[in-house]
Every structure is written in C-alpha cells, then in structure tokens.
Amino acid sequence: MSTGWDLRTRVLRIPYRDPFRIARDSHGAGAAMSTMVVELRSDRLPGLVGLGEGYPDAYYGETLATMPIVMEALLDAVDPAALDTSSPGAARAALARVGTAFDATIRGHGAAKCALDIALHDLAGRATGVPVHRLLGLPAEIPPTDFTLGLDEPAVVAERARRAGRFPALKIKVGGPADLATLEAVRGVYGGPIRVDANTGWTPGSAAALLPALVRLGVELIEQPFPPRRYDWMRDLQAASPIPIVADESAVLVEDLDALVGIVDGVNVKLAKCGGVGAAARMLARARELGFRTFLGCMEETSVGIAASAAVASLAEWVDLDGCLLLADDPFTGLELGDDCRWRLSDRPGLGVELRAAG
C-alpha cells in the first residue's frame, strides 16, 4: 500500500430477517450474509475517516480472502496526494482518475474496488463538506426502492409479500420448482408491480411455458433468465416477450454492455459488480447512451453500501436498493427510508452514515 494510506478492514456477518435463497447456490445463501466494511484514512486528511463496503460474490470471482489482497494492490497504485479535495469539482475529477487507475491495476474485482471507491467518495465528501451525490453533480430525488423476497414455499413467500405491502414494487426470486404457484400466491395478496429474478435458473423451455402467466400476472420485468453468455436464448425470449428482460449476471462491467445491445431491453448495474460509486455512475450513463432501460441493484449490504448506491440512483429508472432492509441488524445509522420508500439522501458531508455507538 502506498504510504500515507491507512486501511482497516472488517468482516461483518449479519443474520437475515428472513431466510434468503436465490437460484444460484454459489451465491452463499441461508441464514446470514458476510460482507466487508472498510475504514480508509489519508495522512493528508487528518481526523477524517471514509467508510466503504464491498460484498464479495464467489460467482464473480471474489471472496473475503481475495478482497484485502486486491485492495492493497489498488491503494499501491494511488498516491494519497492524488485525492485532490481543494474543491468539490477537483475532488470529482480526482475520484474519476482514481477509478481509471483501479481499472488499469486489475480487471474485475468489483467488490474490492467498490469498498475502496465508496470509502474514497465518503472521505472526499467529508473533506469538501458536501454529500456524495452532490459531489457527483447528481440530484437528491431518486425513484423508490422495491423489496426483494427470496425463494421459498409459495405460502411463505406470499406471507412475506403481504408484510411488504407498503413497497411500490416487489422483486420475487424465481428459478425454483414452484415459480408459477409462488407468483400466483403473491399476486393474491399484493396489487403492485412484480419484478421476477431467475438468477440464471431458467431454460428456454421453462421460460416459454411461464411467459403467458407472467404477462397475465402483470410482471413488470424479468431479470437474468438464463446463464450469462446465452445471448441467443435471451434474444429469442426478449423477441417473444412484451415484458422487458433485464441482464444482471450478463452485465457486470461497463464493457459488457455493447454485447447486450439488441439482445435485452434493460441492464442491472450494481456497485459491487462494477467497482463502486464512480464506476456505477459511468456504467449507468453508458447504458442510457446505448438505449437500455436502467436498473440499479445491490447485494446483501449494510447501509454503507446502500447509501453509496442511493447517491447514483437518480440515474436509474428502476431501483432495487433493499440490501440493508433484508438484515436483522444494520450496524450503521444515518440512512433513512421515507414513507414513500425512497431513500432520503443526506445533506451531511460524504455518505452521512456512521457506525452506531455501542451500548
């Protein structure tokens, strides 16, 4: 690590409110999630701490063991003097250059980049006295978040849907044996838009068999029905479907977008896949340029990761930032969900999130 940085990492293992399972079992599911939270200090900014978070998904090639090694290499590539905080505009430009340096250091490793990139944005915001969204030149008005329900028995999912009735949309994990029964049961208790996410778990046959029912049930979008490189299957389903298909596992990095043009209508951008606040803002802007409908998603994260995601949520049409709401206990305070299910972007410098005082 370049001298002048002080990076501290901490693994948080936090139970879910409800058991959480998706169609890909490599994702690491069950009763609790594990995420990595970092504190970053620079000797050029005495007294300030930047908070960051990255959720490592083995599916994308990262674990809690790889992240610290990669973060060391990333900080080696950046001198603390490069984080110019003489003005918000200077900080914004410096953060973009740091993102470029990270990508030149190692390809992928979005969660490691994400944890540092969020911490650098928080640090720069605190140093310049402005919230992260304003540092990026983005407005505080963002779409409401949906709420996600994991795979389970149809009656169990329906009961959770009933409890989540205040949310303006629900995202239902599918790709199991009871998809149709689950969606029928949810529709029985919930009248709003339903988004489905198969996490690569369907085949062309299962998707074709379900499609008429998805249309009848008013499904708003279908996320990642097939394995990431099955562009042929996705193109054929999108051609047959009045419902937009949204690529998630196929759309990890900004350079994945070109191959999806003409294949699917939408893309799901996540900070932990693409490498943080700056990378997500660039990927969302590029997706819009290419004509995609835009979805901003998240992993299972505390409100550090969700506050950072909310800072760029104005760039997305659909917002799924519920990671910290799925947890039994969020160790951070400062991020608040409005009655309208929109995250309130703080006026405080940086992310506006702090570790809850013990006690």
Binding site for Mg ion (CB under 5 A): 197, 223, 248
Least Cβ distance, residue 82 to Mg ion (angstroms) = 34
Q: Which is nearer to Mg ion, 187 or 270 (CB)?
A: 270
Q: Which is nearer to Mg ion, 248 or 330 (CB)?
A: 248
Least Cβ distance, residue 57 to Mg ion (angstroms) = 11
Q: Which residue is nearest to Mg ion (CB)?
A: 248
Q: Which is nearer to Mg ion, 220 or 248 (CB)?
A: 248
Q: Cβ atoms within 10 A of the Cβ of 267, count? A: 26
What distance in Å separates the CA atoms of residue 95 and residue 311, rounded to the nearest whole number? Answer: 15
Q: Which is nearer to Mg ion, 296 or 308 (CB)?
A: 296
DSSP string covering 224-287 = --S-TT-HHHHHHHHHH-SSPEEESTT--SGGGSGGGTTT-SEEEE-HHHHTSHHHHHHHHHHH
Q: Which is nearer to Mg ion, 88 or 297 (CB)?
A: 297
Alpha-helix residue ranges (DSSP H) falling in the chain: 66-76, 88-105, 110-128, 132-135, 154-163, 179-189, 204-216, 231-240, 271-274, 277-289, 303-310
Least Cβ distance, residue 312 to Mg ion (angstroms) = 18
Least Cβ distance, residue 158 to Mg ion (angstroms) = 21
Least Cβ distance, residue 249 to Mg ion (angstroms) = 7
Residue 57 structure tokens: 């998904």
